[in-house]
Structure 1
């Protein structure tokens, strides 16, 4: 295995591990939030247009009876909610900034980033394992072998007949 191949594998694998670590942290914080949160009914009172997406504005009553407005941090196109739609809002009453940290109770809203990071990290680790397998079975990645690279540059193709 050449140093170029080792470097490529190390980079791909490291990115995968980093994405899995960040995804695990997101899972932990979201899981803790959901465990502590109170669920209340809310109603979509408007759609905020930003960057070509629509973000729902949801009014709800907190545990003290105050009417609060949830401003969603994520938007979709087309809009995921419509004005007048009833939704569940989660918030942690022990958090002094709970009115700023409320979330809509939906799988994409709560777990979307976590799922994305864990899936992408898994793909990077799978690709690094696949590349390692190819190197072990075929003796290397053809691009990193000088003889093959020179043959490709001269002929425009590799002749690897078995």
Structure 2
């Protein structure tokens, strides 16, 4: 007589944690690769921080608005979506940036890898809590699915 086993909820939870960590690691790598590509293939220029703006009303983290000249001589203002508390930049500060000539809003501020670090850190935390058990979890789920 065959005994029926229940759903291996703990093992599925471990696999979910490992998968979420993998997704965060992939996002981190993609952001890094896109930034490196922009640095290697974009146009380097200097810009000046002209304003610090809030991304959401009544929230303190501030993101810079940067005015820079494109290589054709026209002026462009880039509004960053990376806000920090305290702000990383001050109004009037000169910054080095890289931009895509075909999309001047595609900008990378030199040395700014905040999102890479955030997503890599989150991925590492999810992996930290799952990596030691993922092998056993895969085996248990495989046995549950295929007997």
- Cα distance, 1:22 vs structure 2: 2.1
Q: Which residue of 2 aligns with 1:91?
A: 99
Q: How many residues align?
A: 126
* Richer in helix (by share): 1
Asked if 1:35 is matched to 2:43, the reply is: no
Gaps of 5+ in 2: 1-6, 137-147
User: What residue number does 1:26 align with?
Assistant: 31
Instruction: Tell whether the 8 Å contact from 2:24 to 2:122 is kept in structure 1 after alignment.
Output: yes
In angstroms, what is the RMSD of aligned CA positions? 2.2
Q: What whole-Å deviation, never above 9, does each CA across 1:5-58 have from its counterpart, x for those lacking one?
A: 222221111112222222222222222112112221111122223422322221
Q: In structure 1, which of residues 50, 67, 70 is the aligned counterpart of residue 75 of structure 2?
A: 67
Higher strand proportion:
2
Shift of 1:87: 0.9
1:104 to 92, 104, 109: 109
How far is 1:119 from its partner?
A: 2.4
Counterpart of 2:21 (choices 16, 21, 37) is: 16
Of 59, 79, 86 in structure 2, the residue corresponding to residue 78 of structure 1 is: 86
Pick aligned residue for 2:50 from 37, 45, 48: 45
For 2:54 and 2:12, how far apart are their aligned partners in 1? 44
The residue aligned with 1:150 is: none
Pick from 118, 124, 127: which aligns with 2:126? 124
Q: Which of structures 1 and 2 has the bigger CA Rg?
A: 1
Counterpart selection for 1:3 from 5, 8, 12: 8
